Amino acid sequence: MTEPSRPTMPGPADAANPFLAARRQADVAATSDQDRNRLWWEAKPMTYAPWEAEDRLPADVAAFRDMERYLLAKSTYLRERFDVKALAGRRVLDLGCGSGVLACYMARHGALVTGADITEHGTRLTAMNAASRGLPVSVVRTDAEAMGFADASFDFVLSWGVLHHSESTERALAEVRRVLRPGGRGLMMVYHRTSLVYYLKGLYWLLARGRIFRGDTLASVTDLYADGYYHRHFSRAELAYCLQDAGLTPLRLVATQQEEPILPGLGGRLDATLKARFGWYLVAEFARPGR
């Protein structure tokens, strides 16, 4: 599995691209590869504000509730297929908790939640979110690739849209296995390479915007439209292999996407069918073997 290459010849029009702007800041200030990852997210914390917004932080307590409503309204999988009530009384790790939306959602349904994030913004926002709702969410700043938790600390690990942004998804998954108890389960979402978004957006940037003439590829132009310093895309087979290589058992792999039609003008059964096969999000349910 190859790592994404990077755009080789930035042009004048790239100056306004919010993803590349955050990359440039991280490249200048970082001391290591994973530090570049952290600094990208410090510049663009996950608050569901438009990526081009200069101020991405919630303005008040109501904004945290708005973020939860937004995420659940947009995500068919989380709203309809994620059995949050089954986590009541379980020790749950929200790995890459961002602004704490899912950590608070699970805690509100009785889970014993620990939120973990590599960034100062992520840990602070999650703590503020939980405090504003009176929810007992523990928050820890730690790196997914080297977590400061004891072995077998959790019954369930949730990582929604996070581990494809780590420098090494493989190292992060090995850590997930370590902190998950034998017999414990988890749920993760990453970007799907066998998706319409990957190919249509990639071809747009390569052909319509001429990036192919600068030496770019489908992998490298993801820097122009995907969030994060790193943003790997996985096929089903590649993600299953990564899980198995880390000592985790894939239970189910599902493609999905947000509520908007996968192609303009589509709807109904055809839209749902295409999302189930070619959606941009690849969701994996997995378990650590044992009891």
pLDDT digits (tens, 9 = 90+) for 37-57: 999 999 999 999 999 998 899
Residue 83: exposure state from Cβ atoms within 10 A (0-12, 13-18, ≥19) = exposed
pLDDT over threshold 50, residue 2: no
pLDDT of residue 4: 46
pLDDT band at 12 (very low <50, low <70, confident <90, very high): low
Residue-wise pLDDT tens digits, 138-159: 999 999 999 999 999 999 999 9
pLDDT of residue 16: 84
Q: Give the amino acid at 18.
A: P
Q: Is the dihedral of CA 230, 231, 236, 240 positive or negative?
A: positive
Please check whether residue 104 is in contact with residue 68, taking contact to mean a CB–CB distance below 8 angstroms.
Answer: yes
- DSSP SS3 for 7: coil
pLDDT of residue 290: 92
Whole-prediction pTM value?
Answer: 0.93
Q: Which two tokens stand for residue 31?
A: 């001391």
Please check whether residue 289 is in contact with residue 247, taking contact to mean a CB–CB distance below 8 angstroms.
Answer: yes
Domain coordinates in residue numbering, the chain: 12-287
The distance in angstroms from the start CA to the end CA of the chain is 32
Provide the Cα torsion 117, 122, 126, 132; round to 10°: 170
Residue-wise pLDDT tens digits, 200-244: 999 999 999 999 999 999 999 999 999 999 999 999 999 999 999
pLDDT of residue 13: 59
Rg (CA), the chain: 19
Residue-wise pLDDT tens digits, 242-285: 999 999 999 999 999 998 888 888 888 999 999 999 999 999 99
Q: Give the amino acid at 288.
A: R
pLDDT over threshold 80, residue 95: yes
Q: Which of 146, 168, 280 is nearest to 229 (CA)?
A: 168
Q: What is the CATH number of domain 12-287?
A: 3.40.50.150
